[in-house]
Structure 1
């Protein structure tokens, strides 16, 4: 196995080892292959409903690839007295051909035993390490069948993640990636129930729980009122409520045709799907791709609203055209289901977030919440978890919370740590709300972590530095010192801005090509993130000069690119640029290529001149960095002033 991951192997040997792995995995994947990794991977076996005596498709998703997956093997166990497997179909990877020719999507092989109750699956990057999986995708689909038309209840597809023979995810031959498996519930219901196949809602918790039979979930369905631009639409959706494992789910099913007909004559800016049920742990809105396309064409958003959280998603950020291309351009948009979910963390997930927060010196305020968007078609699921613009979600803080004792919202990153996301605190009545703007989907929480650096106590930057320190944006040079007057490097400025903007994941796969950005350097990933999000481009000689001190002009160029992610306006009109710069006596010293960026920073109040000068060639200090980064976030409405 290790040789296979390092280089293209002999064709016959590869086929032999792929076959043997399904039978004798212990000989090929020794436990000694494990090594530490900073970015765990996550696989989700989609929770699925099936009618008693019938079949259903269970998508298996790589919902978080960490830093890249080069191979995996897993054994999925099930109760053979209740379920059987009809087929296992790869959605990423192909069966190894006889001639062993490499595949861009890798080699896939599977087997199952309906007597013993197991299925085994293996996938490997057949290019020898050049085609790691870097994005969330569906790995394969399992068609399961309920063996009896009389048996109902909840059963599980389980994976023993503690056994290397039954579960391992690799980045390379010497790197076993820490990884988890979520979901795996199969709910079998009578044919006259309201359950359908392939619900696609992802559940938390490990799938190592033994398969057990529990009563079928209680399900009710009622009409609900939705709102189009604030106007009631009484018969435009139904709510289906069910209880599974003690947690209540409410799903709003939109009457897509009614909404499309209505907005074709009245227009729309927001489709609001409200749920008033305070006992619901999971709230999901379901609409189809055709309605999403109609909303996108009108610049409208879908908003899911519960008593404790809201999720406002511009239809354009669902990117229905990309989803359509993935499921097949010939598939009607009306046949693609889009589910938008808000899930309150259960006790286990809450404890995990609080434990990590404690390690980082943070105090969690309230309960974490997970936000999710998934497209479904014919057993295939596509996770939508990256956006081109900020998407707002709001979390209500517990009754009695002190709005001043909140510093920021955080997102649970792929590395298992909590990172800052831009957060604005507001109050409605007696309830404080944390409005979190993010470019990704994940689990979010609100934390309190006040910072105070001794050496800014009497410095002009005190408020800005301590505020951004509390938000996990600015870091001190020690636990108590900040060094406000020290200059900041290009890499340090870039890393600070990324933390401020809440950018912790690359937008697609991006290779760092700068000749002076060394592999393994502390800033390698930050540079990759900045390039992928179009914040930096480097110099014409192919360098980035990460350790060079950044000038005010260079800082404003990067800040101007960041404006594209916000609602702030970039200045491009030549006359306006000249007018804004003319107010400063040294405007002639601004480089031609930087004039628009400098004008944008001035127009938006992000950068201020000193004594009538712009000083474009002066180095930026750490204190000045705190000031201009905070102004950017405040002017964009992403944090409180």
Structure 2
């Protein structure tokens, strides 16, 4: 669906008709359901909400909100389709008077004013600039500028990745403006970065883990990660949020995220037939990898998301640093074509 301000590529398979029909009632017939797809420019109300969010989030609005909605109507009842099982692409036209180099990402602005990053990349088509925005939900999307330059990243090998994720509002520094890149990252911090990087909607409510409280800063991210099958807890069923995460554990979560982004399915057609054992045999410490994690490590190696700590070592039991975490989250998004 195309308009002057944006386009919307919505696979029909993403509209799950059976759940809709159940909500309409037992007698509802699919051929009588009317679907409406809408692209709408900003209203005065949404512009005000965006301005308030920009002030709170310390970012600059570069292109005003665009609303994307899908509605299903059966007789007198209308249901809005707000979420999908895989990423749906929207393309937003960038006005000629906007400097594309200043656009760092698109954000979703929720009705309550909260914002979240959604994977975004700038492309040129037909001599014009566009922002391709991929999201698992419908909402109002705003193109923004938010430059992040962490004080302790100058000269660091992960500087580009860390500052990029900071500019996209995926990661944050401390009160002193530092990121502490060489510090080990906790399971809570890593999960939060993955959820924000993928643009998943935080989910409030009771958590599935006995060691996560509803009031914990990371509880909504943990809930979202659990809902999308990215985490399931450790052997004891707990999340262990304050524990540092090992490279092996971090890779397992990334491998699950690869399925969500569609990268795993793409690999099935582009990878060779080598087994995980054969791929891992090039590393002298492959025997340290847990049996359940070998396929995940293999997938991430083939996708180019991870490399060895050295030419011959994977160091699966070593704690991963914040800089390494930023690198692999960014690679996941780039290899998946989302940024």
Shorter chain as denominator, the TM-score bin is over 0.9
Q: Distance in 2 between matches of 1:579 and 1:364?
A: 50
1:522-541 Cα offsets, whole Å, 9 max, x none, are 12211111111111000221
Match of 1:588 in 2: 287
Which residue of structure 1 aligns with residue 227 of structure 2?
532
In structure 2, the residue matched to 1:365 is 62
Distance in 2, matches of 1:505 and 1:391, equals 18
Q: How does 1:210-229 map to 2 (within 5 A)?
A: none
8 Å contact kept, 1:413–1:504: no
Query: Which residue in the other structure is 2:94 paired with?
Result: 397
Q: By how many angstroms is 1:358 displaced?
A: 2.1
Instruction: Choose the corresponding residue for 1:544, options 239, 260, 266.
Output: 239
Correspondence for 1:603: 302
CA deviation string 1:108-161 (max 9, x = no partner)? xxxxxxxxxxxxxxxxxxxxxxxxxxxxxxxxxxxxxxxxxxxxxxxxxxxxxx
Shift of 1:344: 0.4
TM-score, normalised relative to structure 1: 0.51
Structure 1 residue 351: deviation in Å?
A: 2.7
Contact 2:289 2:316 in 1 (8 A): yes
* Counterpart secondary structure, 2:78: strand
Root-mean-square deviation (Å): 1.8
Structure whose residues are more often strand by fraction: 1
State the alpha-carbon separation in 1 of the partners of residues 323 and 86 from structure 2. Answer: 28
Is 1:516 matched up with 2:211? yes
SS of the counterpart of 1:305?
A: coil
Per-residue deviation, 1:360: 1.2
Q: What's 1:624 paired with?
A: 324
Aligned to 1:409: 106
- Unpaired runs of 5+ residues, structure 2, are none
Deviations 1:440-479, CA, capped at 9 Å, x for gaps = 1111000001110121101001100100000001111235
Counterpart of 2:177?
A: 480
Distance 1:533 1:510, change over 3 A: farther
Structure 1 range deviating more: 626-635 or 405-414: 405-414
Mapped partners of 2:237, 2:63: distance in 1: 47
Give the structure-2-normalised TM-score: 0.94
Is 2:76 the partner of 1:379? yes
Q: Which has the higher helix share?
A: 2
In the alignment, is the contact (CA less than 8 A) between 2:49 and 2:113 conserved in 1?
A: no
Maintained 8 Å contact 2:205/2:214 = no
The alignment status of 1:319 with 2:16, answered yes or no, reads: yes
Alpha-carbon contact 1:425-1:435 (below 8 Å) kept: yes
Counterpart position of 1:561: 256
Counterpart contact for 1:401–1:432, Cα < 8 Å: no
CA apart distance, 1:569: 1.6
Residue 510 of structure 1, CA deviation: 7.5
SS in 1 for 2:277: helix
1:234-253 counterparts in 2 under 5 A?
A: none
* Shift in alpha-carbon separation, 1:434–1:454, aligned structure 2, 3 A: same
Aligned to 2:48: 351
**Kept after mapping to 1: 8 A contact 2:53/2:109:** no
Kept in 1: contact 2:7–2:90 (CA 8 A): yes
**2:108 aligned counterpart, secondary structure:** strand
Q: Report how far residue 383 of structure 1 moved.
A: 1.1
The change in CA–CA distance for 1:333 and 1:540 in structure 2 (over 3 A counts) is: same
Give SS of 2:134's match: strand
Q: Matches of 1:575 and 1:468 in 2, distance apart?
A: 33
Q: Which has the higher contact order (CA 8 A, sep 6+)?
A: 2
Distance 2:245 2:42 in 1: 42
Q: What do the CA deviations read for 1:48-84 (whole angstroms, capped 9, x no partner)?
A: xxxxxxxxxxxxxxxxxxxxxxxxxxxxxxxxxxxxx
Give the Cα separation in 1 of the matches to 2:239 and 2:264.
27
Matches within 5 A, 1:29-68: none
Following the alignment from structure 1 to structure 2, what is the Cα–Cα distance between the partners of residues 371 and 338? 14
Q: Is residue 636 of structure 1 aligned with residue 326 of structure 2?
A: no
Structure 2 counterparts to residues 564-579 of structure 1, below 5 A: 564-569=259-264, 575-579=274-278
**What number of residue pairs does the alignment pair up?**
334
- Aligned equivalents of 1:556, 1:415: Cα separation in 2: 34
User: Which residue number corresponds to residue 419 of structure 1?
Assistant: 116
